[in-house]
A and B are shown apart, each in its own frame.
Chain A
Amino acid sequence: MRGIKLKATGWALALTAAFAVSSTAAVADGYPKKPVTIVAPYGPGGASDMATRTLAASAPNYLQQGVLSVNKAGAGGTIGSTFVYKARPDGYTLLLARVATHAVSPAMKNLPYKPMEFTLLGLLEKNPFVCATSIEKPYKSLKDLLDAIKANPGKVTYSSAGVGTLLQVAGVMLIDEAGIPDANKAATHVPYKGGGPAALAALKGEVDFVCTNLSALIGHIQAGKLRALVTTMPERVASIPDVPTARELGYPGLEVAVGWSALVGPPKMDEEATKKWVDVLAKLKDDKSWNRMTHKLGSIPTILSPEETREFIEHSYSKMNALVEKLNMKIK
């Protein structure tokens, strides 16, 4: 009996140890003295979760310490972001910031955190964005879709991952760019809980179209179930070479509708830790395995310096904010 118990305890300890430290490395002087936690503000399985895990798998080689990814989901990323915002700025708690937590939500809502007060460490990746419709629907091109929206205001529907997500704003932005008045009411927004269900709704034909990460749709596009109408990347995407870009169709403003992940820390983060992470990200830029995994997940590795990242996020935010103010989409 005692033997069994001890054995069980040993097992449990071994398991915990194996999980706790995803990579062991020599402990150096100074930062980091212990494993670093990166908070993914969404649940397991989504783009932010995968970005955190691929980062946690590769960064320890340069950090000389383990990296733990922790999910703190809820309220469209607000809970995890607020947690890191209020965390001790010692460099041991970081956040995987997303376009929703740092550009879309702040534009639409008063939040418990100020996005630009976070210590920006660097952009990590961009996720090509695409608007698509079921092949059962009559829209053969973006023009068909926009014409239908113009002809029957409010009748065309599109799905999103919820209020305050890029999926919602991108749909509105598409319509607004086409010069259709009252863009947020011209098509009916149907929110779902998460990007997966939103993509599924378009696949089932339950809604007319969806604008979301290419990685969520690529399988359905290649299988001939969904028709991609436009991508928001400046150049054509290699995996869907026939799909026109927003720029080609005359809507370059739509290019701001692109998903991205960045690594950030709490405001006024410890300088040594900040420097260390900027350095780690610079090295990660040439890391083969991180680049390969990020590519395979359908993202484009884009590591930027803290200054470039600030510029990028501010641009992203100001565009969203302008649209939200113009259409009075602010949530009171």
Chain B
Amino acid sequence: MDIIQEAFLHVATWQTILALFCGVAIGTIIGAIPGMTVSMGVALTLPFTFTLDPVTGILLLLGVYKGGIYGGSITAIVIRAPGTPAASCTVLDGFPMAQKGEARKALEMALYASCIADFISNLALIFFAGFLASLALKFGAPEFFTLIVFSLTIIAGVSGDDLIKGLASAMLGLIGATVGLDLVYGTDRFVFGVYELMGGLAFIPVLIGLFALPEIINHYTHKDRGVGDINKIGSARLSFAELKGSLKSILRGSVIGVVLGAIPGIGGAPAAFLSYSEAKRTSPNGKNFGKGEVEGVAAAESGNNGVAGATMIPLLALGVPGDVITAVILGAFMVHGLRPGPILFQQNLDIIYALFMGIMMSSVFLFIIGKSSIRMFSRIAEIPNSILYPAVLILCVFGAYAINNTIFDILVMMAVGVLGFGMLKFGFPTAPFLIAFVLGPLLEDNFRQALLISQGDYGIFVRGPICWFFWALTVLSVVIVLNRSTGFLKFMKRQPKAGT
């Protein structure tokens, strides 16, 4: 009880509360700017925490993190340029909604889904940290590989009507993902002597090029575009019934986010895509996904925000940073002479509890700040296209540049933009490209790591229950897809009857 009191005293200072509030606000803004990723935001905020009390400083960073994950959805919905990779899934339904004049509704759903998922993720951190941390340690390269294989079956779900075109799009994404240095041999792949390509194609320029740029090119190549036409005003609001209807997807997305977040090295984007595809598969509105379905936004956003609290699990319980953001937060701990891990729980339990209290508070702040920002952001849809599109183009260029401060990334964005426009014209879906591009490196790396560990024995991919679990899901998923497109199961059922 004393410890809880002590923890409360850490949190209940105006400095800490202000830091947390400012953190969430800064994060929301940074997340909303294409090219400013959450990890950059957290890293930029880090030096400000050097002089702060440890709890205050770390909560400031956590605020930026949480705000940023949510903020990424704003531009994804409004201008089709995801602020963070994790928000790229939100584009799929968020932007079509904005086009229909439902930007506000989409933003509200994104906020509610984010807050609910964030809250659940925080609860998981507080109550199941030990259990989830031990699960995370069971996740080796082969388990990762099978998880990613299963995740790739999502491609069938987002391919639209033409599975072949979807697969072609995914192939292009996989090829894009192989650019750079070979993981095991360190040799160049598709580098062509250009040193900037040695690091591979950066996510954000590709994302912006794939989504936002084709939209702009399309606008200017349309013959019938009116000068100064105005999008339908985004005043449609989210009804309680719609929220209730999506609740199941939000809860499922939160759980997916929590589990994937607790495993170091996965991140928000795969969680969002898994949540999205599961929702699409099971929801009665499934066939509307990708055309501006509010439940799609809910699924994507709950998936990526469910990760936010859970990524703290490996950090606090094991001292292992699961991604770049938690690596920066680990640095903040260390600068203050604290070392996350089991020892911190023994020696500084008051600090842990104080962080838990602050984290719970951050969900509330996220809601308040998000709510007040929506009014402002949904008005972007009211800006005449003659102003909006050039402004978006400038944002795209800035975003591609800012991620690594290189002009080269702008060229990457433009090249991918032209490709994306071609795909749009010829009816190739872009989502499979994106998923393959994000998951491709994870697939390859874990496949090769697993084989190195097993000395080339393929048996390692079926070594335990986690592997089996994902293989079973993969098979199930493929059968469902085949059934949908070819009537495979019906055909099988009819066979015995024919014999009698």
Residues of A at under 8 Å CB distance from B?
Answer: 1, 4, 8, 11-12, 15, 19, 22, 43-46, 49-50, 53-54, 56-57, 70-76, 78-79, 82-83, 108-109, 112, 154-155, 157, 162-164, 188-193, 196-197, 199-201, 203-204, 206-207, 215, 218-220, 222-223, 293, 296-298, 331-332
Known: A190-B449, A193-B183, A219-B343. A44 touches B455 (CB 8 A): no
Instruction: Kindly state the separation between the CA atoms of A162 and B336 in the bound complex, as whole angstroms.
Output: 29
Assess whether B324 is in contact with A83, with CB atoms less than 8 Å apart. no
Instruction: Kindly state the separation between the CA atoms of A45 and B139 in the bound complex, as whole angstroms.
Output: 23
Question: B43 in the interface, Cβ–Cβ < 8 Å?
Answer: yes
Question: B384 in the interface, Cβ–Cβ < 8 Å?
Answer: no
What are 9 A-B residue pairs whose CB atoms fall within 8 Å in the complex?
Answer: A50-B334, A74-B198, A75-B200, A79-B198, A163-B184, A197-B265, A200-B320, A220-B341, A296-B337
- Cβ of A43: which chain B residues have Cβ within 8 Å of it? 39, 324
Instruction: Kindly state the separation between the CA atoms of A192 and B200 in the bound complex, as whole angstroms.
Output: 16
Within 8 Å by CB of B453, from A50, A72, A190, lies A190
Instruction: Kindly state the separation between the CA atoms of A190 and B140 in the bound complex, as whole angstroms.
Output: 13
- Cβ of A200: which chain B residues have Cβ within 8 Å of it? 264-265, 320
Instruction: Kindly state the separation between the CA atoms of A108 and B330 in the bound complex, as whole angstroms.
Output: 31
Assess whether B343 is in contact with A222, with CB atoms less than 8 Å apart. yes
- Cβ of B406: which chain A residues have Cβ within 8 Å of it? 72, 79, 83
CB contact list, B286-313 vs A, under 8 A: none
Smallest CB–CB gap between A236 and chain B, Å?
20
Assess whether B29 is in contact with A15, with CB atoms less than 8 Å apart. yes
Question: B100 in the interface, Cβ–Cβ < 8 Å?
Answer: no
- A23's nearest neighbour on chain B, judged by CB, is B47
Can you name 17 extra interface pairs (CB under 8 A) apart from A19-B44, A190-B453, A219-B340? A4-B376, A44-B43, A49-B328, A72-B404, A73-B199, A75-B180, A78-B195, A108-B186, A163-B182, A164-B186, A188-B455, A192-B445, A204-B140, A219-B341, A220-B319, A296-B336, A296-B337
Instruction: Kindly state the separation between the CA atoms of A19 and B48 in the bound complex, as whole angstroms.
Output: 10
Within 8 Å by CB of A72, from B46, B47, B200, B405, lies B405
Could you give, for residues 131-159 of chain B, a 1 whenever the CB lies within 8 Å of some chain A CB and a 0 otherwise? 00000010111000000000000000000
- Cβ of A293: which chain B residues have Cβ within 8 Å of it? 50, 335
Instruction: Kindly state the separation between the CA atoms of A15 and B44 in the bound complex, as whole angstroms.
Output: 11
Known: A56-B47, A78-B198. A219 touches B339 (CB 8 A): yes
Assess whether A45 is in contact with B455, with CB atoms less than 8 Å apart. no
Smallest CB–CB gap between B398 and chain A, Å?
12
Question: B185 in the interface, Cβ–Cβ < 8 Å?
Answer: yes
- Cβ of A54: which chain B residues have Cβ within 8 Å of it? 335
Instruction: Kindly state the separation between the CA atoms of A42 and B358 in the bound complex, as whole angstroms.
Output: 31
Assess whether A112 is in contact with B195, with CB atoms less than 8 Å apart. yes
Assess whether A219 is in contact with B198, with CB atoms less than 8 Å apart. no
Instruction: Kindly state the separation between the CA atoms of A57 and B340 in the bound complex, as whole angstroms.
Output: 23
- Cβ of A154: which chain B residues have Cβ within 8 Å of it? 455
CB contact list, B232-277 vs A, under 8 A: 264-265
Within 8 Å by CB of B331, from A45, A79, A192, lies A45
Assess whether A331 is in contact with B405, with CB atoms less than 8 Å apart. no
The 7 closest A-B pairs by CB, nearest first: A74-B199, A45-B327, A163-B186, A75-B198, A44-B43, A219-B319, A219-B341
Assess whether A8 is in contact with B376, with CB atoms less than 8 Å apart. yes
Assess whether A223 is in contact with B42, with CB atoms less than 8 Å apart. no
Instruction: Kindly state the separation between the CA atoms of A7 and B275 in the bound complex, as whole angstroms.
Output: 37
CB contact list, B182-236 vs A, under 8 A: 182-187, 195-196, 198-200, 202
Question: B12 in the interface, Cβ–Cβ < 8 Å?
Answer: no
Residues of B at under 8 Å CB distance from A?
Answer: 26, 29, 39-40, 42-44, 46-47, 50, 137, 139-141, 180-187, 195-196, 198-200, 202, 264-265, 318-321, 324-328, 330-331, 334-337, 339-343, 376, 379, 404-406, 445, 449, 452-453, 455
- Cβ of A11: which chain B residues have Cβ within 8 Å of it? 29
Smallest CB–CB gap between A217 and chain B, Å?
9
Instruction: Kindly state the separation between the CA atoms of A72 and B453 in the bound complex, as whole angstroms.
Output: 31
Assess whether B452 is in contact with A157, with CB atoms less than 8 Å apart. yes
Within 8 Å by CB of B184, from A45, A70, A112, A191, lies A191
Smallest CB–CB gap between B264 and chain A, Å?
6
Assess whether B50 is in contact with A45, with CB atoms less than 8 Å apart. no
Smallest CB–CB gap between A150 and chain B, Å?
17
- Cβ of A204: which chain B residues have Cβ within 8 Å of it? 137, 139-140
Smallest CB–CB gap between A114 and chain B, Å?
14
Among A79, A189, A203, A332, chain B packs the most CB atoms within 10 A around the CB of A79
Assess whether B343 is in contact with A82, with CB atoms less than 8 Å apart. no
Assess whether A12 is in contact with B453, with CB atoms less than 8 Å apart. no
Assess whether B404 is in contact with A223, with CB atoms less than 8 Å apart. no
Instruction: Kindly state the separation between the CA atoms of A196 and B43 in the bound complex, as whole angstroms.
Output: 17
Among A22, A70, A331, chain B packs the most CB atoms within 10 A around the CB of A331
Instruction: Kindly state the separation between the CA atoms of A215 and B343 in the bound complex, as whole angstroms.
Output: 15
Smallest CB–CB gap between A34 and chain B, Å?
16
Instruction: Kindly state the separation between the CA atoms of A73 and B403 in the bound complex, as whole angstroms.
Output: 10
- Cβ of A189: which chain B residues have Cβ within 8 Å of it? 452
Instruction: Kindly state the separation between the CA atoms of A157 and B320 in the bound complex, as whole angstroms.
Output: 21
Instruction: Kindly state the separation between the CA atoms of A193 and B139 in the bound complex, as whole angstroms.
Output: 16
Assess whether B140 is in contact with A206, with CB atoms less than 8 Å apart. yes
Smallest CB–CB gap between A194 and chain B, Å?
8
Assess whether A45 is in contact with B335, with CB atoms less than 8 Å apart. no
Instruction: Kindly state the separation between the CA atoms of A166 and B376 in the bound complex, as whole angstroms.
Output: 50
Smallest CB–CB gap between B462 and chain A, Å?
17
- Cβ of B343: which chain A residues have Cβ within 8 Å of it? 219, 222-223
Assess whether B321 is in contact with A45, with CB atoms less than 8 Å apart. yes
Smallest CB–CB gap between B359 and chain A, Å?
20
Instruction: Kindly state the separation between the CA atoms of A50 and B449 in the bound complex, as whole angstroms.
Output: 28
Within 8 Å by CB of B335, from A12, A19, A219, A297, lies A297
Smallest CB–CB gap between B381 and chain A, Å?
14
Assess whether B334 is in contact with A298, with CB atoms less than 8 Å apart. yes
Smallest CB–CB gap between A85 and chain B, Å?
10
Among B186, B452, B455, chain A packs the most CB atoms within 10 A around the CB of B186
Within 8 Å by CB of B200, from A71, A74, A112, lies A74
Assess whether A196 is in contact with B321, with CB atoms less than 8 Å apart. yes
Known: A82-B195, A297-B331, A331-B187. A1 touches B339 (CB 8 A): no
Instruction: Kindly state the separation between the CA atoms of A192 and B186 in the bound complex, as whole angstroms.
Output: 12
Instruction: Kindly state the separation between the CA atoms of A45 and B331 in the bound complex, as whole angstroms.
Output: 7
Assess whether A206 is in contact with B44, with CB atoms less than 8 Å apart. no
Smallest CB–CB gap between A237 and chain B, Å?
15
- A44's nearest neighbour on chain B, judged by CB, is B43
- Cβ of B198: which chain A residues have Cβ within 8 Å of it? 74-75, 78-79
Among A49, A190, A193, chain B packs the most CB atoms within 10 A around the CB of A190
Smallest CB–CB gap between A238 and chain B, Å?
14
- A295's nearest neighbour on chain B, judged by CB, is B337
Smallest CB–CB gap between A304 and chain B, Å?
24
Among A8, A50, A157, A200, chain B packs the most CB atoms within 10 A around the CB of A200
Assess whether B47 is in contact with A203, with CB atoms less than 8 Å apart. no
Within 8 Å by CB of A45, from B328, B340, B449, lies B328
Within 8 Å by CB of A50, from B44, B137, B331, lies B331
- Cβ of B195: which chain A residues have Cβ within 8 Å of it? 75, 78-79, 82, 112
Known: A4-B376, A11-B29, A220-B319. A73 touches B404 (CB 8 A): yes
Smallest CB–CB gap between B65 and chain A, Å?
12
Instruction: Kindly state the separation between the CA atoms of A325 and B343 in the bound complex, as whole angstroms.
Output: 43
